[in-house]
Structure 1
Amino acid sequence: MASTSTVTTLTIFFFFFFIELTVSQQISTVDSECTGRWIHIRRLPSRFNLDLLSTCNHYPLTDDLCPYLANHGLGPKTHTRTRSWYRTDPLLLELIFHRRILEYPCLTPDPNLASAVYLPYYAGIDSLRYLYGSDVNSSADHGSDLLSFLTQDSPEIWSRRSGHDHFLVMARPAWDFSQPLTVDPPIWGTSFLERPEFFNLTALTLESRFWPWQEQAVPYPTSFHPHSLPFLESWIRRVRRSRRTSLMLFAGGGGTSSTPNIRRSIRLECTNVTETEPETSSEKIKTCDFVDCSNGICEHDPIRFMRPMLQSSFCLQPPGDTPTRKATFDGIIAGCIPVFFEDQTAKMQYGWHLPEEEFSEFSVTIAKEDVVFRGVRIADVLMSIPKEEVARMRERVIEMMPRVMYRRHGASMGLMNKKDAVDIAIDGVLQKISSRG
């Protein structure tokens, strides 16, 4: 159980947090730039957000989330002198997004003026009690309390468009909220997204299923959260001048079983690394570098993998337990060209942030079946790409970097003029809601 001092600290923290929310919504509604872009933040009882944070270490089967609540969900700094790097847990995206939307310039206290209504409900954190806690056999109940509140407290806000104009963030793959209501006992997950009453709202998830139109995947948070434009530009300069001494890198776990799969094939290829001789230099380049992230040891330690990513031209992004990977976005932050093995890892997921029509400009796709069953060597495919094309692709990856990062709250005005993952997600939500008429 969280200590009394921890809960007290959180209470004080969120007291000022919601004071800021109240102030932020008192924005003049005469600004023409906000026409069609007004957002109302629904005031929810603390049991839907603040109270959930006090259970940050209640579930022994998961990591203790308490240390990562620091800095409004960004987590503790990786070292004391940094102002951009944090030990961020992806499950706290709900908290990160909530803090950031308070800085959105078009907030309104009047729901009747709003084009969209944001629900600051920490669905992923609340799901822990159904996935790992005492309510594990009651997964069909997930969302019932929220629905009761929305339909009973100022019900006109919810009923005016039957939830079509509402959106929330769910910091887990959508599969974790997609347990059919009729399955008893439950197998895995909660039934939040299977509730017909929630079919109309927009759910921003870390990974979406490809058929429900109410789901949209948004990038996993990385550890990079710059607070000013000079810090971002400084990092980009470092990425550009980094010496890429390895052709390709795999940072991850798995692949140790005897069953044929893409991770096993990658491990086998990387185990038999060779050095290639560049045409214009006597310096040898390692064919494959490998960072073993088994048992979650890389989860909150970006130092383990960021340097190798900076030193590699290509980052291999095979699917794991689910198709998507946080490492996809870590690699982009490092200017490491992503190599995908199936479209569901990113191409069919992050259309708002990684436009599908531009995919071949910043990434490489190799069918996993070709590697696993047809003997295609990944290194051979990558070495066949001309150096000029590799340079162009890396530049496109660097251009994509601001789109997938989550800048620090309270960032300088210069950096706020560059749209980040939150800005693009909000634009996408507004456009999606508007398209429904």
Structure 2
Amino acid sequence: MDSQTVKKTPKPSNFVKSTLHSIKIHFSSHPRFWLFIAFLWAQALIISIARTPPLCFPDRSSSPSPSLRYVPIHSNTTPAAALPEPPPALYTDDCPSGRVFSYDLPPSFHRDLVVPNCTDLDFWNWECGIISNHGYGRAASELRRTLPADLHKSWYHTNQFSLELLFHHRILKHNCRTLDPDLATAFYIPFYAGLAVGKHLWDNDTSAKDRHCKMMLTWVKSQPYWKKMNGSDHFMTISRITWDFRRLTDPGKSWGSSFLNMPSMQKVIRFIVEKYPGDDMDLSVPYPTGFHPKTTESLIQWQGFVRDYNRKKLFSFIATDDKNWGKNDLRRLMSDYCRRESSSCVAVDCGVSDCTKNSSATLIPLLESEFCLQPKGESYTSKAVFECMVAGSVPVFFVKTSYEQYEWFLPGEPDSYSVFIEEEEVRNGTVAVKEVLQRFSKEEIQRKRERVIETIPRIIYLKPNAGIKSFKDAFDIAFDGAMERIKEEKEWADFLR
């Protein structure tokens, strides 16, 4: 190769010097371009440093750096206040119709109306025995000699006028009761109207019969919760028949109070032992008997006992042979008839026998008879109907008005649990009670009695205790029915708004 045509490779030192010289010439000729490049490079460097997490080195010092603030885990500072708990749900599985608020009425409207020193039943004093044991009465310990096992422990001397105390006690213990009226669906008025009016029923002073009723309405109408619906979401209990509270405007009619005719009572629901069929606010509930089991097991044991009892008589009649009965009064006719038919009927005169203090005087005859006669008395219904059924005996009615009561509690088919005999046919002698009852076969009687026994849980009032029950008694049925009715009315009112 020709040495003249080949260029010599420059030495490295000369090459670097040549390159730097070229950059210097280029930088000097384009200073602004290079300043811009330098600025971008500086920005990129700053961003890179900011985003790069610091290196984590173990702290080898024995105490925290004085430049750091140390907050101990367990401090003595007061913790922040907890958030308030939300209010309970208005409707729950346990309270599907809402909650009830019971007014704290002055004692003059309930407690002060009860005779304090009369704790035992007295035939001549209708108020006796009401106050003891929250209205359930003393234990019927005399039945220990009559009933097997521990069945006597479910029986008490319960006054038929104690319904107001029983319901008040159950409301106060109810799991759906609320102490906050703003959370209530319904409001209970614990006014003992039966006791307030009963004290003056046989007086001619009509103002005395209405005094407590008017005072109570004045008090409750002043409450803000009454004014919201004018009392249509309120309910109460009355231990006497409806006719004792519907005094007519005729000055010659002085019996009873005008309480249920007062304008303010027209929307208030009331549980009452005998209702007025034309008033939807009257809800008839069973009279309280002396049978108050505490557990489901006690009830089942009693049902088995009355089912297997050996009944020696065809029918029975239990009443007080009152000298004021008219000659043609059906009760007098039945009393005389039962005595004549002593081989088939057992008659009990509570005017002679001490029925109020000795429960066996009425219970044993009812247990021994297939049927029990229930003629109309001063009213269409009576406590005796429920005493009869609790004993597993089939009731015999003589007026169909009796079937218009207690729709929530008694079977819908009257023939399934009772017998009806026309009253007039008995009076004129065209029908003999014994002959009618003898027509039923053993199987038919057994079917009727079984229906009666199945109904017992619905017509009794339990005595609450710590036990868990698997059925609803008369109070539960009445309470749930009234609560559901009020709930539906409120929902309908809200829909129309």
Distance change in 2, residues 1:299/1:114 (3 Å) = same
Measured after TM superposition, the shift of residue 272 of structure 1 is 2.0
Question: Distance between the aligned counterparts of 2:255 and 2:153, measured in 1?
Answer: 39
Give unpaired runs (5+ residues) of structure 2: 1-86, 145-151, 493-497
Q: Are 1:325 and 2:382 counterparts?
A: yes
| Paired amino acid for 1:354 | L
Normalised by the length of structure 2, the TM-score is 0.73
Contact kept? 2:193, 2:239, Cα under 8 Å = yes
| Paired amino acid for 1:423 | D
Identify which of 40, 56, 79 aligns with 2:141: 79
RMSD of aligned C-alpha atoms?
2.5
What does 1:26-425 correspond to in 2, within 5 Å?
28-29=88-89, 32-33=92-93, 34-54=95-115, 63=125, 65-79=127-141, 82-132=152-202, 137-152=207-222, 154=223, 156-180=224-248, 182-184=249-251, 187-254=254-321, 259-273=327-341, 286-294=343-351, 297-345=354-402, 347-355=403-411, 357-410=412-465, 412-413=467-468, 416-425=469-478
Matched position secondary structure for 1:63:
coil
Distance change in 2, residues 1:308/1:126 (3 Å) = same
Matched position secondary structure for 1:248:
strand
Matched position secondary structure for 2:240:
strand
Matched position secondary structure for 2:176:
coil
Distance change in 2, residues 1:244/1:64 (3 Å) = closer
Question: Distance between the aligned counterparts of 2:395 and 2:341, measured in 1?
Answer: 19
Contact kept? 1:137, 1:185, Cα under 8 Å = no
Distance change in 2, residues 1:308/1:29 (3 Å) = same
Contact kept? 1:338, 1:363, Cα under 8 Å = yes
Distance change in 2, residues 1:244/1:188 (3 Å) = same
Matched position secondary structure for 2:409:
coil
Q: Paired residue for 1:282? A: none
Distance change in 2, residues 1:432/1:262 (3 Å) = farther
Contact kept? 2:353, 2:361, Cα under 8 Å = no
Measured after TM superposition, the shift of residue 388 of structure 1 is 0.9
Measured after TM superposition, the shift of residue 30 of structure 1 is 6.4
Distance change in 2, residues 1:133/1:260 (3 Å) = closer
Per-residue CA deviation, residues 32-60 of structure 1 (Å, 9 max, x unaligned), is: 21232321112211111122225666xx9
| Paired amino acid for 1:390 | I
Measured after TM superposition, the shift of residue 301 of structure 1 is 3.2
Question: Distance between the aligned counterparts of 1:267 and 1:304, measured in 2?
Answer: 16
Question: Distance between the aligned counterparts of 1:408 and 1:61, measured in 2?
Answer: 24
Distance change in 2, residues 1:131/1:380 (3 Å) = same
Normalised by the length of structure 1, the TM-score is 0.83
Question: Distance between the aligned counterparts of 2:256 and 2:426, measured in 1?
Answer: 32
Measured after TM superposition, the shift of residue 295 of structure 1 is 7.3
| Paired amino acid for 1:389 | E
Measured after TM superposition, the shift of residue 255 of structure 1 is 7.7
Contact kept? 2:460, 2:474, Cα under 8 Å = yes
| Deviation larger for 212-221 or 291-300 | 291-300
Question: Distance between the aligned counterparts of 1:314 and 1:305, measured in 2?
Answer: 14
Measured after TM superposition, the shift of residue 377 of structure 1 is 0.6
| Paired amino acid for 1:364 | V
Q: Could you tell me the percent identity over the aligned residues?
A: 35
| Paired amino acid for 1:348 | E
Larger radius of gyration: 2
Q: Alignment length, in residue pairs? A: 391
Question: Distance between the aligned counterparts of 1:349 and 1:198, measured in 2?
Answer: 21
Measured after TM superposition, the shift of residue 64 of structure 1 is 6.1
| Deviation larger for 390-399 or 46-55 | 46-55
Contact kept? 1:139, 1:186, Cα under 8 Å = no
